[in-house]
Amino acid sequence: MKSRSETVSIVGMGYVGLCTAATFASRSIRTVGIDIDEARVEQIRRGKAPLHEPQLDTLLKQAVKSKLLEATSDISRAFGTDTTFLTVGTPSQQDGSIDLSYVKNACEDLGNVLREKRGYHLVVVKSTVVPGTTNGTVKRFLEQSVGKKVGSELGLCANPEFLKEGTAINDALHPDKIIIGSNDKKSANRLKRLYRKFYGPRLPPVILTSPESAELVKYASNAFLATKVSFINTVANIAQQIPGVDVGTIAEAIGLDPRIGGLFLKAGPGYGGSCFHKDLQALINYSKNNGYDSTLFRATEETNEQQSNKVVDMAEALLGSLSGKRVAVLGLAFKKDTDDIREASSLRVIIQLKKKGVHVIAYDPMAIPNTKKQLADQIGYADNPYSALKGADCAIILTEWDEFVKLKPKDFQACMKTPNVVDARRIFDPEEFSQLNYVAIGLGARRSLRD
């Protein structure tokens, strides 16, 4: 007799849950996507992603059409599946510590559904949670609502994801590793079997560990990457003080040492996005509550916070007083190819510019609708980079959009009142832009040509 093929359900159709669901379905694994937000579910049913992520719309359309993905707000649909992934959000509380209320709700709702289930069901925590959450809060809430202990009929694993916005689908299809944290062999083997079906002969290295280690891997990963960015921004600030030095050269050179590695060494206005700040704060708080003050990670965050001041200082150095000046902000998204502005450095820079009495006019190819929701009419919005630059005293590049890379010195000269340019993303060639008042993060002053 042919064995029944495995099915999965995913609770939380946010960024991570939806990308995971779409990729599972693309590998012919029947998937039920569950979310409490009915409008979001309706949109997914129509094969339309409620967020911007390259390739996601195409995968979703195929998945919905082939009926391999079913979107619903009814969590009882998890009953008939073999494995349920929890991908609900884990935001920060006021003090920076992790807010587990969505995780608790999801566990309770799922547990009630699984009460009458006979046979094995595996629950997998994919949300980013501090060490001890899977074996603590999750296990407690699940066991209480299911009415049985984790073990022979109810499996539990921690299985963090490492998706990056903008390349999430590719990251989900080709991860560099899979981390499975479990207390028993049965649940780990079940999850590994599912991933073997997903990846076939291309199964990436699987690291089997305790749930607590799996949970910490995710935080350690984000903390390392964020620290690498704050490190290069620190080097950039030092380089900027030295005539003839460019942080780009320093990054390229040190990156050739395999112990350092060349990725994540791009100096800029500071990291943003929904994860780095949130996860560092959660880790700092978690560690503090356990009696250890993680000085390094606090410094990573502080350096990041200050980096936006550096950008404003550079504009101020070019213009003298900023009060009453018109500044064009090119780029609002926290990185290119996304409409996401969560924790974006653009917001920190804009707030400071506003405090100094600047008239800000911003342009971004995708992120204006989200920015309008947050800043409303506190700033002006332009339809294209040229109209943002029109009559401006200074331009600040805050996102590395391809569209901005194409701009030439003459575009700035033609549109602006005075061509002062602060390149906070290092997208322009300093030589080519030397005809303007051009300054850039990590670029020391040009050496005067003597002899």
Question: At a CB cut-off of 8 Å and minimum separation 6, what does 345 contact?
Answer: 268, 269, 270, 271, 272, 307, 308, 311, 334, 398, 424
Report the residue from 7, 8, 10, 14 that binds ligand UDX according to the rule CB under 6 A.
14
Say whether 316 sits in a helix, a strand or coil.
helix
21 part of the interface to ligand UDX, by CB under 6 A: no
Residue number with CB closer to ligand UDX (269 or 419): 269
| CA atoms within 13 A of residue 396's CA, in its CB half-sphere | 34
Nearer to ligand UDX, 183 or 300 (CB): 300
**For the chain, how are helix, strand and coil distributed in percent, rounded to 5?**
45, 15, 40
For residue 89, which phi and psi values (nearest 5 degrees)?
-70, 155
Nearest CA-CA partner of 327 in 350, 345, 305: 350
Residue 275 known to be catalytic: yes
| Contact positions with ligand UDX (CB under 6 A) in 321-340 | 334-335
Least distance between ligand UDX and beta carbon 413 (Å): 28
Tokens 């033609």 sit on residue? 414
Q: Is 270 or 419 the residue whose CB approaches ligand UDX more closely? A: 270
Residue number, 40 or 139, with CB nearest to ligand UDX: 40
Q: Which of 21, 41, 68, 88 binds ligand UDX (CB under 6 A)?
A: 88
Write out the two tokens for 180. Answer: 């499975």
Residue carrying the six token digits 């391809």:
402
Nearer to ligand UDX, 276 or 363 (CB): 276
Q: Establish if 13 lies at the interface with ligand UDX (CB under 6 A).
A: yes
Catalytic entry in 19, 107, 275, 415: 275
Closest CB 199 distance from ligand UDX, rounded Å: 18
Q: Where do we find the tokens 């995971």?
A: 20
According to CB under 6 A, which residues from 245 to 304 bind ligand UDX? 264-266, 268, 271-276
Interaction mask 387-426, ligand UDX, x per CB under 6 A: ----------------------------------------
Residue 366 in contact with ligand UDX, rule: CB under 6 A: no
* Beta carbon of residue 27, minimum distance to ligand UDX (angstroms, whole number): 20
Joined tokens for residue 144 = 């209480």
Q: Residue 177 class from Cβ within 10 Å (0-12 exposed, 13-18 middle, 19+ buried)?
A: exposed
* Residues from 115 through 134 that contact ligand UDX (CB under 6 A): 126-128
Q: Which residues are catalytic?
A: 275
